[in-house]
Structure 1
């Protein structure tokens, strides 16, 4: 509910559970957040898939034409198969050298197909030249070579036509553009926006500008873009709509202002860059990342992107499905024990913080008496808590109550196997919300939460009854985010059973 406390109603008491207040946005900002926005597709992943597809299709065409024409006449030879694979690999290398793996190239026809025929011809000329110098010309079938050349080219053309259609559709849907907000609604902001609009191959979609100043230096409309609000509004804005890039149009000399803004914005899972287009102080070219010809300095990067995100997704779904199958008997016995121990449902949903502060419903085995259920976990479970059932004490101690979260991982995709634990939306320490207790608390939501995590296997789990415990959790969660790797996830997963056996701080 905009500008006021939304409420969730308890199914047992009928009384509302208050959510935290959400920051009020300007009408211009609300107009942007109300637009339908689809998830983005990574251009890095798309280019990688196209490379793999090119290699696979060319290999299949070359091997199929060899098996269909040469083998019935001259018999089978592994050298020919290796030659096809080598030619396919050289083709990929030549396409890469010709800059054919680029989203802008996929959209066009003339540039794409002229480069395609040039590179594919070059591959065959190289093969013919290598065969001549190796004195293998007489053993190479000219009919097979011509068939491979023509069928390979036709296959590539068809593939690129389909790809062109897909890319154009994704572009219309906004899946390939980086949704960008500009910080600084002044002369520098206008210069930056004009410079960005001159980049014809830019993938940026400029949403608007934000500025804290209320005097004449802050323009209500900056180079045609509306002023959407102040810096504090960016966090709420980015949680209501997809934002991929925050670009500062401030000079490097405004160090104190930039640092104050970064302190507020670094909790977001977005790229944050400082434009250097108007700065007189110049660094080495390698220090910059470029948006077209506009130089920028990276401040913060979105964690776990591109192929890392694909690996993380595959790890979660694959390992999650395996664990769900292996642990099914344990989950069935746990459900039976809960049903026999006390009246009420076996499972319950609890509101937790997900990625980028999204509210998600997390499944758990019920460990409290049904009439004392706490869907928002507003009251922390403590040692010898009378609300906990007999079976509940066992499953909480061993974390068996968390197993249904595997359904969140495998079917809903709003949890990971490994990640910062999803805290309750009303999690408190001595009547203070966690984000009021720890500076930068929401930065732990820059990635999906997980069933287990780096903090948990290091003993920081269970009841939070002092400031050190929540600070340590956040500290370990941020370390995990900054140092994530697939091996790190595997290490945490393998260490989790030992951490559960200790059962520290779990009531």
Structure 2
């Protein structure tokens, strides 16, 4: 339920890790501009932006590796027999590396909030190096040893960290200018509050307002401050723009409580955070609203947070998915040969499916049907005696070998190893589009789709022939999203093969 606190913003739901940042944009001076204040060619989907927004976790791993390498290198120089290095030398240098790593995190070195990130990052690297050198020097003095090792370590550490952070800052600047760190919103309600928000967003260049939706067709203007009115709230539910949106901002007068509740109920079907914008009474209130909507460029490096969980999941996909792709390459080559020899047509079948946050992605499979009978929209779902399926197709569908090319989707970041199975765009159950059978259907798009998942190992695999099948799968998918963790993913992957092989009667 939405809070009614005095804060200018009340958050209704959070779908994915907090995102934010800023980008250089051009202000549209003509309020009648049809393009709006942000260029469509600068728009980036949430999946594209998610990768760079997880970069601080990768940067920190690199820094830890650099500090470890510097420490080992200094030890090797001072004690050629590394294994025999005295504890009085190794201990203070290890303390220096730990103190420098803590100093980098404490100083906000992975936030990149500055407009001139290169100089600030160099300063933070220097400060962390001094902290580490000071800790090592104090330890050497306590042990009665020479502090020359601390000076040598400091020189090497500053060169390594300083160079790395200059590279990080350059990357962040490029991402910011390319729109990859800019929070994108759509506004529901062509109101004066919405116009005030858009105008201030243009002035501060921190937030991209991609469009406005308003149900008052006859009274709504064509645009507000150059941002076009694209339709009503019902059209927002299926609009292609949603794949690019971090948040939906409801800018309806709070006095219209019934209208606000109706909008929240309707928009809760989307996998996107919904935020209420109350009437700002002062500039500082509006700035506070922008702070909440734009957010930091990167999520903070807390011990447990959604951004860290997403980063761990991406690393898991790259490491395990990459290894699986290498090990299964001979199997995939044999399947490709069998498909080619069995029936005329291409080896692969490509289909547009829904990915993270409603984004449409192209999913790869080995072709299991006759080429002329392929159904890219899944308007007719597969049955046990389906005459469209080839001989080889029956085998690779029964063993799920036809799904192996989706490892490529995993490596490119469009899919994950574990998650809700991606459904075809426009897939039907009977004569009704599956997405219209369950109110919470879109919630399964709050995470990347997967090769396998919680629903798959609980028997919900393959076609969905009845509304009850759709409801059960959505229930299991949402249950997974709420419970997702590294250990649950590993458990699902471990039991996937035995479950699939033990269920030979399933239609897939």
Query: Under a length normalisation based on structure 1, what TM-score does the superposition of the two structures give?
Result: 0.74
Contact 2:217 2:232 in 1 (8 A): no
Alignment of 1:81-480 (within 5 A): 81-105=90-114, 107-108=116-117, 117=126, 120-132=129-141, 134=142, 136-137=143-144, 139-142=145-148, 144-193=149-198, 203-214=206-217, 222=224, 225-237=227-239, 239=241, 242-250=244-252, 254-275=256-277, 278=280, 306-328=307-329, 330-331=331-332, 334-335=335-336, 338=339, 342-345=342-345, 347-355=347-355, 356-410=357-411, 412-480=412-480
In the TM superposition, residue 183 of structure 1 has moved relative to its aligned partner by 3.1
Judged with a 3 Å threshold, the aligned counterparts in structure 2 of structure 1 residues 469 and 60 are, in CA distance, closer, same or farther, namely closer
In the TM superposition, residue 155 of structure 1 has moved relative to its aligned partner by 4.4
Judged with a 3 Å threshold, the aligned counterparts in structure 2 of structure 1 residues 239 and 292 are, in CA distance, closer, same or farther, namely closer
In the TM superposition, residue 468 of structure 1 has moved relative to its aligned partner by 0.8
Partners in 2 of 1:321 and 1:294 — Cα distance?
Answer: 37
Partners in 2 of 1:114 and 1:406 — Cα distance?
Answer: 42
Residue by residue over 1:363-384, the C-alpha shift from the partner in whole angstroms, topping out at 9 and shown as x without a partner, is 3344334443334332222232
Mapped pair 1:503 → 2:494: no
3-state SS of the aligned residue for 2:368?
A: coil
3-state SS of the aligned residue for 1:104?
A: coil
In the TM superposition, residue 109 of structure 1 has moved relative to its aligned partner by 6.1
In the TM superposition, residue 498 of structure 1 has moved relative to its aligned partner by 3.4
Contact 2:352 2:376 in 1 (8 A): no
Partners in 2 of 1:370 and 1:100 — Cα distance?
Answer: 54
Mapped pair 1:493 → 2:493: yes
Judged with a 3 Å threshold, the aligned counterparts in structure 2 of structure 1 residues 278 and 54 are, in CA distance, closer, same or farther, namely same
Judged with a 3 Å threshold, the aligned counterparts in structure 2 of structure 1 residues 386 and 27 are, in CA distance, closer, same or farther, namely farther
Judged with a 3 Å threshold, the aligned counterparts in structure 2 of structure 1 residues 168 and 433 are, in CA distance, closer, same or farther, namely same
Partners in 2 of 1:495 and 1:327 — Cα distance?
Answer: 18
Partners in 2 of 1:331 and 1:119 — Cα distance?
Answer: 49
Unpaired runs of at least 5, structure 2: 1-31, 283-287, 300-304
Contact 2:207 2:294 in 1 (8 A): no
Contact 1:196 1:294 in 2 (8 A): no
Residue by residue over 1:78-106, the C-alpha shift from the partner in whole angstroms, topping out at 9 and shown as x without a partner, is 44233222112212323433334321247
Judged with a 3 Å threshold, the aligned counterparts in structure 2 of structure 1 residues 104 and 322 are, in CA distance, closer, same or farther, namely closer
Partners in 1 of 2:161 and 2:329 — Cα distance?
Answer: 46
Contact 2:70 2:156 in 1 (8 A): yes
Residue by residue over 1:155-177, the C-alpha shift from the partner in whole angstroms, topping out at 9 and shown as x without a partner, is 44444433333322222111222
Residue by residue over 1:324-353, the C-alpha shift from the partner in whole angstroms, topping out at 9 and shown as x without a partner, is 44445554555555556x532373414241
Q: Which residue of 2 aligns with 1:16?
A: none
Judged with a 3 Å threshold, the aligned counterparts in structure 2 of structure 1 residues 68 and 167 are, in CA distance, closer, same or farther, namely same
Contact 2:92 2:139 in 1 (8 A): no
In the TM superposition, residue 241 of structure 1 has moved relative to its aligned partner by 6.1
In the TM superposition, residue 277 of structure 1 has moved relative to its aligned partner by 6.9
Relative contact order (C-alpha < 8 Å, sep 6+): which is higher? Answer: 2
Residue by residue over 1:237-258, the C-alpha shift from the partner in whole angstroms, topping out at 9 and shown as x without a partner, is 5547622232333465544333
Partners in 1 of 2:337 and 2:127 — Cα distance?
Answer: 68
Unpaired runs of at least 5, structure 1: 1-25, 281-289
Stretches of 4+ aligned residues off by more than 6 angstroms: none
Contact 1:462 1:504 in 2 (8 A): no
Query: How many residues in Structure 1 have an aligned counterpart in Structure 2?
Result: 458
Judged with a 3 Å threshold, the aligned counterparts in structure 2 of structure 1 residues 444 and 84 are, in CA distance, closer, same or farther, namely same
Residue by residue over 1:1-23, the C-alpha shift from the partner in whole angstroms, topping out at 9 and shown as x without a partner, is xxxxxxxxxxxxxxxxxxxxxxx
Judged with a 3 Å threshold, the aligned counterparts in structure 2 of structure 1 residues 238 and 150 are, in CA distance, closer, same or farther, namely same
Contact 1:351 1:359 in 2 (8 A): no
In the TM superposition, residue 506 of structure 1 has moved relative to its aligned partner by 0.7
Residue by residue over 1:200-248, the C-alpha shift from the partner in whole angstroms, topping out at 9 and shown as x without a partner, is 6x843343443333466x5655466554443334445554762223233
Contact 2:49 2:181 in 1 (8 A): yes
Contact 1:106 1:163 in 2 (8 A): no
Judged with a 3 Å threshold, the aligned counterparts in structure 2 of structure 1 residues 421 and 80 are, in CA distance, closer, same or farther, namely same
Judged with a 3 Å threshold, the aligned counterparts in structure 2 of structure 1 residues 77 and 371 are, in CA distance, closer, same or farther, namely same
In the TM superposition, residue 61 of structure 1 has moved relative to its aligned partner by 3.9
Contact 2:183 2:294 in 1 (8 A): no
Partners in 2 of 1:59 and 1:346 — Cα distance?
Answer: 50
3-state SS of the aligned residue for 2:49?
A: coil
Contact 2:33 2:226 in 1 (8 A): no
Contact 1:106 1:112 in 2 (8 A): no
Judged with a 3 Å threshold, the aligned counterparts in structure 2 of structure 1 residues 267 and 88 are, in CA distance, closer, same or farther, namely farther
Partners in 2 of 1:191 and 1:129 — Cα distance?
Answer: 56
Judged with a 3 Å threshold, the aligned counterparts in structure 2 of structure 1 residues 406 and 195 are, in CA distance, closer, same or farther, namely closer
Contact 2:182 2:294 in 1 (8 A): no
Contact 1:275 1:294 in 2 (8 A): no
